[in-house]
Amino acid sequence: MVREPECKLCGRRDRAISGFLGICGDCAREGSEEALRIALEAHARSRAKFGLPPRPPRDPSGLRCGWCGNDCRIGEGGRGFCGLVENRGGELVRIAGTPEVGIASAYLDPHPTNCVAAWACAGGSGAGYPKYSLSKGPEYGFYNLAVFYGACSYDCLYCQNWHFRGMIRGGERMSSEELASMAGRRVTCICFFGGDPTPQIHHAIEAARIARRRRDGILRVCLETNGNMAPHWLDEIARISWESGGGIKFDLKCHSESLHIALTGVSNRQALENVGRLARLHRERPEVPFIRASTLLVPGYVDEEEVGRIAEYLARIDPTIPYSLLAYSPQFEMGDLPLTTARLAEACKRAAEEAGLERVNIGNAFLLAH
């Protein structure tokens, strides 16, 4: 008989406890110093495999990056948390993420795509027709240019796309110009995701500008992000996306900051603030929802309590924000956890609706355990 993992703090045994993380969801949410120590040690072990800093650097004499909420201060010879920024001789050097070079792969994804927000976006649903969509329904015969960036400002131990870590040193390089040239006539939207676009947001912004400048028809710009970028970058990409008929989908991991640190290695304060920052733009373009949100239901950690609190926060911003709940597929360091159950997904959906959100769906129900 397989022995269930045990929480190193409370001693509870449960299949829904990650043996790698070492603490249960309740202890992670309580956020004691010991819980934080155990969780951050797990992150350090994981990141060492990829040559990444164990935590966002805080060298008092270091250089400030300022591109995201991690606010790295990088000492001489050091690297930022995302792995793309280095202090070389007292100067910050970005090995990627500038208009000249980005670490990314891109491919054409036919509409309707499997994008989490496709049920609410112009390309997948026809929302905003005819100004923002070519048809009253899915744009059959047309494509999304899906851009996967090889870096992230978080360190999710359950990452569903964890392979991006290997792209930092060995991934494909392309300029913003080269990326924009891939948006042919039958491409009606560009979606930046990853990893996360945040560490390479300047590259994405420039690619979007070039592609839009060359197009005299519909070309939407969308972003799937953890939301951790600095406000000035968010404002730039948000304006481009809003004007194009696209949207920004925030992947909100959880609401509790202590649980968020345990699962991702960093705080979620910037991400939550950034959702609210876009409230006015969301209200000013009701025909195509601008803010979209999603949460991965990680068994034992992200439950009705977390979803309810996220939904309450979103509903205060605007109750029409589409919110997708996603089933967990055991991945990466937390691959020992079970699948999300249908019971948990339905309970989380009820919690989100009771919190005041009007548009809630379960995005990948085929993965649910019954």
Helix, strand, coil in percent for the chain, rounding step 5: 35, 20, 45
Q: Within a 10 A sphere around the Cβ of 209, how many other Cβ atoms?
A: 17
Number of H helices, E strands in the chain: 12, 13
> Sheet of 102-110: strands edge to edge?
173-174, 102-110, 143-149, 187-194, 220-225, 248-251, 291-297, 323-327, 360-362
DSSP-derived letter for residue 58 is B
Instruction: Provide CB contacts within 8 A for 159, sequence distance 6+.
Output: 152, 331, 332
Do 293 and 314 meet the contact criterion of CB atoms below 8 Å apart? yes
| Structure confidence at residue 1 (pLDDT) | 47
pLDDT: is 113 or 206 the higher one? Answer: 206
Walk me through the domains of the chain, giving residue ranges and CATH numbers: 54-95 (no CATH), 102-367 (3.20.20.70)
Which region among 82-86, 111-115, 217-221, 332-336 has the lowest average model confidence (pLDDT)?
Answer: 111-115
What percent of the chain has pLDDT above 70?
A: 99
Is residue 3 predicted with pLDDT exceeding 80?
Answer: no
What is the tens place of the pLDDT at every residue in 79-95? 999 999 999 999 999 99
Give the Cα separation of 88 and 365 in Å (integer): 48
pLDDT grade, residue 2 (50/70/90)? low
| Structure confidence at residue 370 (pLDDT) | 86
Which region among 38-42, 184-188, 199-203, 365-369 has the lowest average model confidence (pLDDT)?
Answer: 365-369
What is the tens place of the pLDDT at every residue in 266-307? 999 999 999 999 999 999 999 999 999 999 999 999 999 999
Token look-up 């040690």 returns 41
Q: How far apart are the first and last CA of the chain?
A: 22
Nearest 10 degrees: Cα torsion 298, 271, 332, 66: -170
Q: Point out which residues pair with 361 in neighbouring strands.
A: 324
What is the tens place of the pLDDT at every residue in 227-278? 999 999 999 999 999 999 999 999 999 999 999 999 999 999 999 999 999 9
Helix (H, G, I), strand (E, B) or coil at 344: helix
Interval 203-232 mean pLDDT: 97
Q: Which of 301, 302, 107, 78 is nearest to 187 (CA)?
A: 107
323-327 and 360-362 beta bridge pairing: parallel
| Structure confidence at residue 33 (pLDDT) | 97
Interval 7-12 mean pLDDT: 96
Q: Which of 164, 118, 174, 166 is nearest to 142 (CA)?
A: 118
What is the tens place of the pLDDT at every residue in 24-45? 999 999 999 999 999 999 999 9
| Structure confidence at residue 169 (pLDDT) | 83
Give the Cα separation of 62 and 64 in Å (integer): 7
Any idea what the Cα angle at residue 310 is, between residues 305 and 316, rounded to 5°?
125
Do 41 and 35 meet the contact criterion of CB atoms below 8 Å apart? no
Give me the sign of the Cα torsion angle 126, 225, 317, 264: positive
pTM for the model stands at 0.96
286: preceding bond cis by omega (within 30 degrees): no
Is residue 213 predicted with pLDDT exceeding 60?
Answer: yes
Do 9 and 32 meet the contact criterion of CB atoms below 8 Å apart? yes
Amino acid identity at 36: L
Helix (H, G, I), strand (E, B) or coil at 275: helix
The tokens for 83 are: 């792995």
Type and span of the H or E element at 106: strand 102-110
